[in-house]
Amino acid sequence: MPELPEVESVKVNLERYILDQTIEKVEVHHRGLRWPIPHNFEEMLEGQKVKMLVRRAKYLLLYFEKADFILLWHLGMSGRVQVITPKALTPRQTHDHVEIAFYSGLKLRFRDPRRFGAMLLVPLKELSRFSLLSSLGVEPFDNSFSGPFLLELFKNRSRPLKAALLDQKIIAGLGNIYVCEALHCAKLSPLRLAKTINHLEAEILVKAIQAVLRKAIAAGGSTLRDHRQPDGEKGTFQDVFKVYGREGERCLRCDHVEIKRILQSNRSTFYCERCQI
């Protein structure tokens, strides 16, 4: 599933193409995504001018110049947004479920083979209490996200660090890849109970999370299988993974212990037993 860096890179890439562009026509070829696409979807979007794109956790929010609603977009497990320029028109593929055409000649296609993605219209007046957004925790780049703040969040949590970091109600946008990488960067074991970290470890972990995310965003995210930028470019952060997907390989920091893979809550966790305590 695309995590914060992948969604952020999609947002930044899309902004280059669709900001201040007006939608001419919308075609829905399959409404059966994770939640059904509304039947008035086409009518509501046609004629709207894109004003702003915002990322919240793993969601994209498209704001329009004169609309009293936003388009809430989630890429799901395998979803991909494609930019189709007038000079590079290609036939629609089987899993291209939605096509948005702009007066400029540009098109967006949403391809989602597994159909776990979502495209929903949310009234602005309901946005603050909309269920998918209202329960989300702090953003990793929010000014309030600090060592003391994290320590307070974790002080009564008898869960492994990794599980706590993956909880979207605590910190929004983190996923399996970047939690593994951030914990290695912070030299903290994913098996440690969240409530056992001290002030210094909390400060180090916050900085590690932010550093890993910044590097991943700059690299366009990680392309392991499905992720691409809207313009077709792959992410490259997978080329510098320190632990994720490196089971049995040498730790790049201590060059002694092999990277170990375990299961936590049915998810693969990669870490170094020597470096991470």
The yes-or-no answer on residue 2 being catalytic is yes
Residue 8, token pair as written in the block: 């952020």
Active site residue: 49, 234, 267, 274, which one?
267
Separation between Cα atoms, residue 209 and residue 3, nearest integer Å: 13
Active-site residue identified among 2, 5, 190, 230: 2
* DSSP-derived pairing of the beta strands 107-111 and 80-84: antiparallel
Inter-residue long-range contacts of 24-32, CB under 8 Å, 24+ positions, other chains counted: 24/101, 24/102, 24/103, 25/100, 25/101, 26/98, 26/99, 26/100, 26/101, 27/98, 27/99, 27/101, 28/97, 28/98, 29/92, 29/96, 29/97, 29/98, 29/99, 30/97, 30/115, 32/115
Q: Which of 58, 111, 242, 246 is catalytic?
A: 58
Buried b (16+ CB within 10 A) or exposed e, 206-233: bebbeebbeebbebbbbbeebbbbbeee
Residue among 3, 8, 181, 201 flagged as catalytic: 3
Tokens linked to 50: 């894109």
Active site residue 267: yes
Does 66 qualify as catalytic in the annotation?
A: no
36 given a catalytic annotation: no
- Catalytic residue set: 2-3, 58, 267
